[in-house]
Structure 1
Amino acid sequence: MELAVEEIARAGAMHVEPAFISGYVDFDEDIFTSANASKLRVAAETAGLRIKAISAHLDLSGRDAVDALSRRVAFAAGLGASFLITNAGPMRNRADVRRTIDAVLPRLEQADIALALENPGHGKDDLLGSARSGAGFIREIRSRHVCLNHDAGNVFTYSHEATQPAEDIAPAIDAVGHAHLKDLVSRDGGWAFCALGEGAVDYQKYWAALPSALPVSIEMPLRLVRPQRRDPQRRDTPVDITAIRSALQRSLHFVTMLDSKSNSAADPKCLVQTTQPSRD
């Protein structure tokens, strides 16, 4: 993580989004302590980076979801983050997801952290299978501390290339508080993640659809592959650091170009999720 923070700062980013996602990195629940949050926050600040968001996924319909989510809220607060990003759960467990959120909502309000629910990139019958269905769920909660994290790349893969993210987000703009940008190349053998702007996701239309002040992060899970378009798999060997540096720099440049073409008044800023950037 320390090396990732250094590389992200070196690339010119201004924020970093730590990610604790099963399949991306190895971790257990013991990592979500105040001491670890303080250590990570200091590492980021020493590198000249701020932490505005953290991804720490779990199934909110699980038996221990209230305790697990509460730990993550405290950890996010220790980082100084404004957004805690997680998946929700299956549509069939909608009531359980709602009970978990209702139980933890006072903690979110006290810490002034928004729980940003992310649409999945694989599987089926998810509560957040589309932005429209996710927005309906968010609107029922009626809290500024619960919103959607719209993952553009996940829209493309969850729909098996049937839907581009600009089309998906259109009916749900009011419920979206944060977004993830990631790209992938589509081949006969499956999907492979790549630098932003070099894959099959249409970011020209998506960027035009986003509110100018919406916080976004560039996500580059370069070590993951989707053979035959199945669930993500982590390669046994790490990606070469020079390849990561190059892809990160190209992705940051791509976002800057998108922002300049949109003539946005917002100042482009960059987050990175152990390998992730963003604009405010």
Structure 2
Amino acid sequence: MNPFISISSGAYNGHPLHVAFEEVAKIGGTHLELIFIHGFSNPFEESYFCEANAAEVRQLYKSSGLQCGAFAAHMDLSTAQSVSQFIARMDFAKSIGAHFMITYAAPMDKEVEFYKNMEVFVRHAEEINLIIAFENPGDGKRNIIDAARSGAEVIKRLGSDYVKFNYDFGNLMSHFREDILPEEDFLHVINDTVHLHVKDSRKIKSGWEFPAIGKGDIDFRYIFRELKDRAIDLPLCLEVPVTMTRDVYGIPKMAEVPPTLDEIAKTLKDSLDYTRDITGRS
């Protein structure tokens, strides 16, 4: 897999989807990761995940010159309705050219239901050749996968090449109130990780904010040195949620007035330049 650098569409919450494609292309991006998560992205209905909309998205990729690496549509995988909903998301991801389907797992008290549903999802992932990549959450609520160790345990139990990990560095900071740091944690699941969410985090009085990559509290230079020393070169997405903060409990709060497109462009361009510098990627 080409170790691409992608940019999350989440930075453009509050703007039409086509704007994200146009703006990422303008700042020299090569890949755009779409995010569809209730409460974290522009509102949507489950009926959105259909072939007609997938065709429109494919056209946006083609006209902008961008590519799709991963598709982020996190949800609770333990409910009865999540079977049909997640299958639809997986099919949508495959149709728009994604290699990875990124999601959370499920609340800790829904373990039985989660593993039952995962039997269906793993079979479907194998059928359509799409990797399910679990992500560690950031809201402070107990999840079947909270961090690297629990992620590695779930992946081992499921035992499929189509179930791997997407590590989110910024999420760990708020999820554990910085009692566990990503610089130490991520290596516990690195052998099962196929994709990274590079999200910086900065502690503020009201909780956490998410600045340009390299402007927060996470030592990404150290992280990428560790990866280089292990000859690990993974595709990644710059997830810079400029419209979101988290409170002291990790609960997200969306900005009432989103930044201007010029402000978003500067934050993302600074993030892209910094990441290219520390990874040596073009």
Q: Do the aligned residues in 2 keep the contact of 1:164 with 1:202 (CA within 8 Å)?
A: no
Give the aligned length: 262
TM-score, normalised relative to structure 2: 0.89
Distance 1:244 1:187 in 2: 20
Per-residue deviation at 1:104?
2.0
Sort the Cα spacing of 1:140 and 1:239 in 2 relative to 1 into closer, same or farther, 3 A.
same
Cα distance in 2 for partners of 1:209, 1:68 equals 37
1:95 positional shift: 2.1
- 1:225-278 Cα distance to aligned partner (Å, 9 max, x none): 223454011112121111100000000011011113xxxxxxx36xxxxxxxxx
> How far does the alpha carbon of each residue in 1:67-107 deviate from its partner, in whole angstroms, 9 at most, with x for none?
11110111011101100001101122122112112112222
Quick one: distance in 2 between partners of 1:50 and 1:95? 37
Q: Distance in 2 between matches of 1:142 and 1:206?
A: 27
Is 1:147 aligned to residue 164 of structure 2?
yes
Aligned to 1:125: 142
For the pair 1:216 / 2:232, whether they are aligned, the reply is no
> Which of residues 164, 171, 175 in structure 1 aligns to 2:188?
171
- Indicate the residue corresponding to 1:98 in structure 2: 115
How far, CA to CA, are the matches of 1:229 and 1:93 in structure 2? 22
State the one-letter code of the partner of 1:232: P
- State how far apart, in whole Å, the 2-side matches of 1:88 and 1:46 are: 34
Show the 5 A alignment for 1:1-280. 1-24=17-40, 25-210=42-227, 212-260=232-280, 268=281
> After TM superposition, which residue ranges in structure 1, 4 or more long, deviate above 6 angstroms?
none
In structure 1, runs of 5+ residues without a counterpart are 261-267, 270-280
Other structure's SS at 2:189 match? helix
Which structure 2 residue ranges, 5 or more long, are not aligned? 1-16
RMSD: 1.4
- Contact kept in structure 2, 1:41 and 1:51, CA below 8 Å: no
Letter in 2 for 1:10: K
Q: For the residues of structure 2 that align with 1:63 and 1:159, how far apart are their CA atoms?
A: 29
8 Å contact kept, 2:183–2:218? no
Distance 1:176 1:152 in 2: 13
Where 1:16 maps in the other structure, the secondary structure is: strand
Secondary structure of the residue aligned to 1:249 is helix
Deviation, structure 1 residue 209: 3.0
Query: Structure 1's 230 and 117: CA in aligned 2 closer, same or farther, altered over 3 A?
Result: closer
Shift of 1:185: 2.1
CA distance in 1, matches of 2:57, 2:167: 25
SS of the equivalent of 2:112 reads helix
Report if the CA contact (8 A) 1:20-1:56 is conserved: yes
Do the aligned residues in 1 keep the contact of 2:138 with 2:250 (CA within 8 Å)? Answer: no
State whether residues 140 and 174 of structure 2, in contact with CA within 8 Å, keep that contact through their aligned partners in structure 1.
Answer: no
Percent identity over paired residues? 32
Q: Which residue identity lines up with residue 259 of structure 1 in the other structure?
A: T
TM-score, normalised on structure 1?
0.90
SS at the partner of 2:179? coil
C-alpha separation in 2, matches of 1:123 and 1:60: 18
- 1:217 to partner: Cα distance: 0.4
